[in-house]
Amino acid sequence: MTVIFSKKCEYGLQAVLYMAAKESGCVCPSEEIARKLKIPKEFVSKILQNLTDSGIVDSKKGKSGGFMLAKDPSKIRLIDIVAAIDGLDIFNSCVLGFPSCSPDKPCPVHHNWGELRSKAYEMLASETLDKFKEKTINKIGKI
């Protein structure tokens, strides 16, 4: 059951939050991330490779290599990860699945849903990763 984001996106968000909670610049191998978040290693590795292409994370090959954030946490928002993985189409789509949403043909829940979409976007766009550090540590456990 999908809430909003694909598994790929959920794992990507979790992984990036995890990295942001560590000392800045420190290198995390995908094995560590997978173990801490209890998600498949190869999968998270693939996802982080994607995010590397998107310029959100950086990677270091070879022994004692791994992934790290490409920018300062204060420069990364959750919505950036969502945009890179799932895209931003959800924020223009209808909950009821009606095609061609337009203001002159509003669906039955248009007003409410439009507002919720905006709030959700705002939630993901207004704060940067550095704001989440403590809560991430509390949620995931010791880092």
Nearest to 126 by CA among 84, 76, 92, 89: 76
For the bound state, the minimum distance from the C-beta of residue 24 to DNA, rounded and expressed in Å, comes to: 17
Query: Is 55 in contact with 44 (CB distance < 8 Å)?
Result: no
3-state secondary structure of 135: helix
- Please give the full DSSP string across 76-128, using - where no structure is assigned: -BHHHHHHHHT-SGGGGS-TT--SS-BTTB--TTHHHHHHHHHHHHHHHHSSB
Q: Does position 8 bind DNA by CB under 7 A?
A: yes
Q: Applying CB under 7 A, which part among 29-37, 88-96, 105-113, 127-135 lies near DNA?
A: 29-37
Say which entry of DNA, a second copy, ligand SF4, none residue 46 contacts (CB below 5 to 8 A, set by partner kind). DNA
Residue with tokens 């945009």: 83
Using CB under 7 A, pick the residue from 14, 20, 22, 67 that binds DNA: 67
Q: How many CB atoms lie within 10 A of CB 54?
A: 15
Query: Rule CB under 7 A: is residue 133 a binding residue for DNA?
Result: no
Contact with DNA (CB under 7 A): which of 13, 36, 46, 133?
46
Q: How many residues bind DNA (CB under 7 A)?
A: 29
Contact 19, 57 (CB under 8 A): yes
Which range, of 6-14, 40-48, 65-73, 96-104, touches ligand SF4 by CB under 6 A? Answer: 96-104
Kindly list the residues in this chain that would bind a second copy in the complex (CB under 8 A).
Answer: 1-7, 10-11, 13-14, 17, 38, 78, 86-87, 89-90, 93-99, 105-110, 112-113, 115-116, 119-120, 123-124, 132, 135-136, 138-139
